[in-house]
Structure 1
């Protein structure tokens, strides 16, 4: 048998221990190999750099990969690893330069095109990023490239293009529950619920335990008032991800829909414990406490939500309701006015403010806001019957009924 060069003698053993993740033995072998050959063994240096990267020593790994490029300047693989290390150090422009150099050696490497796209994405050069991702897909199709291109379209606010990208991705990987779920969620956002349901159903066919798909399907059922069916779905997800804040938030709101307020608060408190900075959970807790006429608790949660979401008009409106019931009309008035300044098109805010002003005895101002309510509902495609009933009761009391057509 031919004698292996002294530089490469232990490469097979280094490789064996590396793939078995036996890094301690691997390092010892590398040290011996490099001592023997005076640091001239490219593979030993390369594996040492990979181990450093695994251990989080990115700068050290970068230096070793650069040594590899000096030992073998014609290797595109070494340049790709140098660029990868620069990317991990958030030196995106330097990474692009190295990837460009690697592309001259391997012009048909999809990984180079894909990673160039990711670097441009971080530099917010979305046009070049899209070009790179499309080029990568022409060379070879990969799920991850479709996902990044779809994300890019979403960052641009181009929902239709994102849907087209994910449709192509699903054609390429028809059994990927992640891709099917994402496509389903995108259809939900454009109100195409039938297509959304089909894709989510397919995702659950391939993986019945897929939490994201269960959550999406459950929220659709919840949106249509099928509380029990949604809870059945959420029960499956709760087994796999018991510490999922949005899951407990949705379970809580299902119980709220079923008028089981104590169970709702219990679930929402759990969600709040798991995600104390999520304003939606705090908003829902405020809403449920208002329904239970626990106005001080409602005030507490709504104030906390406002700290995280100070531009949300509905939060100020609910705060106004809570303050009214806590017999603090001055602050309630301020809360309503803040809500109106944040959202002039909402119908519920002027109606609630009109009721508040009527109860405070200011009929003139109340009639003004009831008129605004009448104007605002004309622009809405559908209006809650409860709002119309409230307005029709208030209008005769304020003697403005003749001017308003619901």
Structure 2
């Protein structure tokens, strides 16, 4: 830098000294062996890919270590949708430096985007072995890939092992990092195993990362519905309404289910109508609408709604078994359609414990037992009661279900010693208090399933 001489000007008869001016000299040229990785990184983060390519092309021939150049070139290729070239350049980078874990991770991500999941799994396993630190990104992708493999696995035992290993990796991911996707996926696995309380705890921790995440709040409310904590579910949904003016269909469906469980049928229908206007092709929506109209004694509309639910999801046993309950109500009103009711409820009961049912639903079996009693099939009623008790002994069920079961037990005059019935802890003081000696079970007392937004998986 150098200074010019001091100059003066005449302003209204006065001499004023002008400030000295500094002239900036041109920047010196960088030597040919200088490291320009920092400049390449700046261009890449700015998404100035054209400048990146020019710089890489210029430097590849004279750069002492082109590892980073190939690495960035691979990322650019992937951003532009050229995954084959991306893999080729990333492979060159890892050959120059096999200890760079980031390159392995980018190769794994690229394979994942290409749908080569088994190869991606192998790359991330190798990255895990080579990494000297606990890397939450590696754990997340391993969990994701194993979970995907489990869902497509034909052998049930192997699928279970892969799912357990997937959950272990997601647990490591949330312990070592703060990635929202890991929390959500871990909660999904807990929910699939019906460990609803653990799923809630995981999502509550996720809220520390994103306190106003409406999707997470809705999922928490759905899980609270699963364990019959309707007030807590309502509180979480109220937060969603406070965050955003328009609630998602999933949130509205959960809100409607809560109102429905509190016998606010009109309020529930108002929520469901908002969903029907936006996304009418939801099987659970029409299932719940059908139950609302059944509560309002509008049987034809209820049947039409449930039939639409079955049409949208033919293997949805909730809608099938709710439809059978309405047939029961109609049959008991002398419409002579008892056989259709029996067939529908028997089918729903058989599906509730099979692969289609995705797990146990003792409520279906209890309703089938009640129906069998009402139609004089006492032996089958006893058999279905036994199934209900064996399935429900380790589950948290609403008091209404227990009350109906104890009432049926007394009607069938089942003895825990005489008939070898499998009983649970409710078959004690609480059972005696709720025991009824009536000889009829009106259809209005049958417990109906309100299938909220959550699936049965």
Q: Fold-level match, TM-score > 0.5? A: yes
Assess, with a 3 A threshold, how the Cα gap between structure 1 residues 50 and 72 changes in structure 2: closer, same or farther.
farther
Equivalent runs, 1:95-106 vs 2, <5 Å = 95-101=124-130, 103-104=131-132
Whether 1:115 and 2:141 are equivalent positions in the alignment is yes
1:200-222 CA-partner distances (Å, limit 9, x unpaired) = 11112223231121111111111
1:86-128 CA-partner distances (Å, limit 9, x unpaired) = 6651353542222443x45xx5865335334545765623445
Equivalent runs, 1:330-341 vs 2, <5 Å = 332-341=377-386
Q: Kindly indicate whether the alpha-carbon contact (under 8 Å) linking 2:260 and 2:292 is maintained by their aligned counterparts in 1.
A: yes
- Give the whole-Å Cα distance in 2 for the aligned partners of 1:380 and 1:254: 34
- Give the whole-Å Cα distance in 2 for the aligned partners of 1:348 and 1:197: 27
| Deviation at residue 190 of structure 1 after TM alignment | 4.0
Whether 1:89 and 2:129 are equivalent positions in the alignment is no
Partner of 2:269: 231
1:25-67 CA-partner distances (Å, limit 9, x unpaired) = x9xx9xxx9xx99xx983555544566688xx9xx97666434
Assess, with a 3 A threshold, how the Cα gap between structure 1 residues 344 and 278 changes in structure 2: closer, same or farther.
same
From 338, 342, 364, the equivalent of 2:387 is 342
Whether 1:130 and 2:171 are equivalent positions in the alignment is yes
Assess, with a 3 A threshold, how the Cα gap between structure 1 residues 275 and 154 changes in structure 2: closer, same or farther.
closer
| Deviation at residue 292 of structure 1 after TM alignment | 1.2
Partner of 1:362: none
- Give the whole-Å Cα distance in 2 for the aligned partners of 1:212 and 1:383: 40
| Deviation at residue 130 of structure 1 after TM alignment | 1.7
Partner of 2:156: none
Equivalent runs, 1:205-244 vs 2, <5 Å = 205-207=242-244, 208-244=246-282
Structure possessing the higher relative contact order (Cα contacts under 8 Å, 6 or more residues apart): 2
1:137-185 CA-partner distances (Å, limit 9, x unpaired) = xxxx332233234345546665444333322322331211011112223
- Structure 2's unaligned 5+ residue stretches are 1-26, 62-66, 148-161, 332-336, 354-359, 391-401, 441-457
Larger Rg: 2
Q: Kindly indicate whether the alpha-carbon contact (under 8 Å) linking 1:204 and 1:210 is maintained by their aligned counterparts in 2.
A: no
Partner of 1:253: 291
Higher helix share: 1
Equivalent runs, 1:16-55 vs 2, <5 Å = 42=70, 43=72, 45-48=74-77
| Deviation at residue 320 of structure 1 after TM alignment | 6.3
Q: Kindly indicate whether the alpha-carbon contact (under 8 Å) linking 1:69 and 1:79 is maintained by their aligned counterparts in 2.
A: yes
Q: Kindly indicate whether the alpha-carbon contact (under 8 Å) linking 2:117 and 2:145 is maintained by their aligned counterparts in 1.
A: no
Partner of 2:181: 144
Q: Kindly indicate whether the alpha-carbon contact (under 8 Å) linking 1:93 and 1:119 is maintained by their aligned counterparts in 2.
A: no
Q: Kindly indicate whether the alpha-carbon contact (under 8 Å) linking 2:128 and 2:138 is maintained by their aligned counterparts in 1.
A: yes
Residues matched between the structures, number: 350
- Give the whole-Å Cα distance in 1 for the aligned partners of 2:232 and 2:369: 40
- Structure 1's unaligned 5+ residue stretches are 21-25, 356-365, 395-406
